[in-house]
Chain A
């Protein structure tokens, strides 16, 4: 019944009922406002494969802030002095969970100096753990890493004659993600291989902040194109500030 009532009111007041136009609904904030929500000690998912698809404006704002003791879940930790590498250099990161940190020598050094704790996961296990976190699952069994160092201290189970290890889901307080375009509701589309971990991270954190290149009106991104539906996205910042 409610559905039909809403439909009729939309017919009668097509302008008023266009959702996302009202000020109360706006998810658009500045990078500075976004970063103020983050507290020291937070666990933060950060999108990107290297610097590609990484929310660089949000990271730059975090680097300007006083927050520290961050636990970062990201495939890599940027490059020396670039992207998340800035937060490492400024000693704002306490722990990192990801799949490949050797591309940033400063991460290796921080680890050796015991300034940074590191937890490694195979890349497919990591991305699925984030997906599981966002999908309300209690974890999953994967054959990847069975019999290797990476499976030490993990529960092993044989199912239909094949060995698996148990992986817990990953969740976070915040997700900082990068998309190409958002509409005013927060529907997102991505840019080629800059998609990578962003869509899963959008599902797996309490507060999701999307940095986008461009903000458009609702309806300008077609329903078929949308990769991340708006219900996952809490706040939007436009790249480069506003």
Chain B
């Protein structure tokens, strides 16, 4: 399992039976592969599908059936199709239980930037703001640092903010944080990761949660 797959597998453990789940592009898309067999969720795609199934075999690709990343998908029994206005009414109206999103940056209060890069033309926003505003619970999945080793969890956002709404859980390859009124709380360390390493690679201040688990305890949970 590589770092991204580990993050996706950890995020999948957050899902509960009956959840309506929207998966963003990137690591979030991988989450679908790790949902435990005893947990039944319904995948919502903002282009108008509830009940997305696995990717099709190449010979069963239907050009009229794609997800929000424009990749071919299938649908499961009990699925439905609807128009974009209805789809976003579901999102904005609080009918989606969990959205799992990728990010560019997360600040010390748990607010995120995930739609635009400073200095570049802003020519796309898609459904990022709608999902962040309306989903009941937001889980963000990201590598802890950029390819250059720069922390993605920062004191203050330098990228344009997506919403004033804070996310609920942050899952990286190194650690899991929950977001509370007073900011970020470190909930667990990934197996083989030390608190010092997370402190060194996290630009934003954080507290250690009361229910904190170290890598060994987390490993034991996984087995």
Given contacts A100-B124, A198-B83, contact A127 B66 (CB under 8 A): no
Inter-chain CA distance A121–B122, complex, in Å, is: 11
Given A108-B121, A128-B85, A192-B64, 11 more A-B residue pairs with CB atoms under 8 Å apart are: A49-B48, A99-B126, A123-B46, A123-B130, A124-B127, A143-B134, A149-B160, A192-B81, A195-B82, A197-B84, A199-B85
- Pick from A53, A103, A127, A191: contact of B85, CB below 8 A: A127
With A120-B123, A150-B129 in contact, do A200 and B64 touch (Cβ < 8 Å)? no
Interface residues of A (CB under 8 A from B): 49-50, 52-53, 75, 99-103, 107-108, 111-112, 118, 120-125, 127-128, 130-131, 142-150, 163, 190-200, 227
Q: Which residues from A are CB-within-8-Å of B163?
A: 144-148
* A–B complex contacts, Cβ < 8 Å, 19 sampled: A49-B47, A50-B70, A52-B63, A52-B70, A100-B126, A101-B123, A118-B123, A122-B127, A123-B46, A144-B92, A144-B134, A148-B163, A150-B125, A192-B62, A192-B64, A192-B65, A193-B49, A193-B64, A193-B67
Known contacts A100-B124, A193-B49; A123/B64 CB under 8 A: no
Contact with A along B22-56 (1 / 0, CB 8 A): 00000000000000000000000111110000000
* Across-interface contacts of B122 in A (CB, < 8 A): 120, 149
Please state if B92 and A123 are interface contacts (CB–CB under 8 Å).
no
In the assembled complex, which residues on chain B have CB atoms less than 8 Å from the CB atom of A99? 124-127
B173 interface residue per 8 A CB criterion:
no
Interface size range on B against A = 35 or more
Chain B residues whose CB sits within 8 angstroms of the CB of A128 once the complex forms: 85, 88-89
By beta carbon, the residue of chain A nearest B113 is A148
B188 lies within 8 A of chain A by Cβ: no
With contact pairs A111-B121, A190-B81, A195-B81 given, residues A143 and B126 touching in the complex (Cβ less than 8 Å): no
* Cα distance A192–B64 in the bound complex, in angstroms: 6
B164: nearest chain-A partner, CB-CB: A147
A123 to B116, CA, bound (A): 15
Question: Please, which residue of chain A has its CB at the minimum distance from the CB of B92?
Answer: A124
Nearest B residue to A135, CB-CB: B85
B133 touches which one: A49, A120, A143, A198 (CB < 8 A)? A143
Contacts of A199 in B (CB 8 A): 83, 85
| Chain B residues with CB under 8 A of A118 | 123
The residue that B88 contacts in the complex, of A108, A127, A150, with Cβ under 8 A, is: A127
A74 to chain B, nearest CB (A): 11
CA A118 – CA B124 in complex, angstroms? 10
User: Contacts A122-B129, A200-B83: A148 and B88 contacting too (C-beta < 8 A)?
Assistant: no
Name the contact of A52 in the complex, choosing from B66, B85, B134 (C-beta under 8 A).
B66
Contact among A100, A127, A131, A146 for B164, CB-based, below 8 A = A146
Contact: A144 with B66, CB < 8 Å?
Answer: no
Which 3 pairs between the two chains have the least Cβ-Cβ distance?
A: A124-B88, A124-B130, A102-B124
Distance in Å from the Cβ of A229 to the closest Cβ of chain B?
Answer: 14
Interface-central residue, A128, A130, A192, by most chain B CB under 10 Å: A192
What is the CA–CA distance of A230 and B147 in the complex, to the nearest angstrom? 54
Tell which of B46, B48, B66, B116 touches A50, judged by Cβ atoms closer than 8 Å: B66
Docked Cα-Cα span, A101 to B126, in Å, equals 9
B12 to chain A, nearest CB (A): 24
Give the one of B49, B63, B134 with max A CB within 10 A: B63
Question: Hey, which chain B residues are within 8 Å of A195, CB to CB?
Answer: 48, 81-83
Contacts A107-B123, A111-B121; A123 near B83 (Cβ below 8 A): no
A143 touches B47 (CB 8 A): no
| Complex CA distance for A193 and B68, rounded to whole angstroms | 10
- Min C-beta distance of B199 to chain A, whole Å: 30
Q: What sequence of 0s and 1s flags, for each residue 123-163 of chain B, a beta carbon within 8 Å of any chain A beta carbon? A: 11111111001100000000000000000000000001111
Cβ of B91 under 8 Å from chain A: yes
* Contact assessment for B83 and A102 in the assembled complex, using a CB-CB cutoff below 8 Å: no
Minimum CB–CB distance from A84 to chain B (whole Å) comes to 14
Whole-angstrom distance from the CB of A194 to the nearest CB of chain B?
4
Which A residues are in CB contact (< 8 Å) with B64?
52-53, 191-194
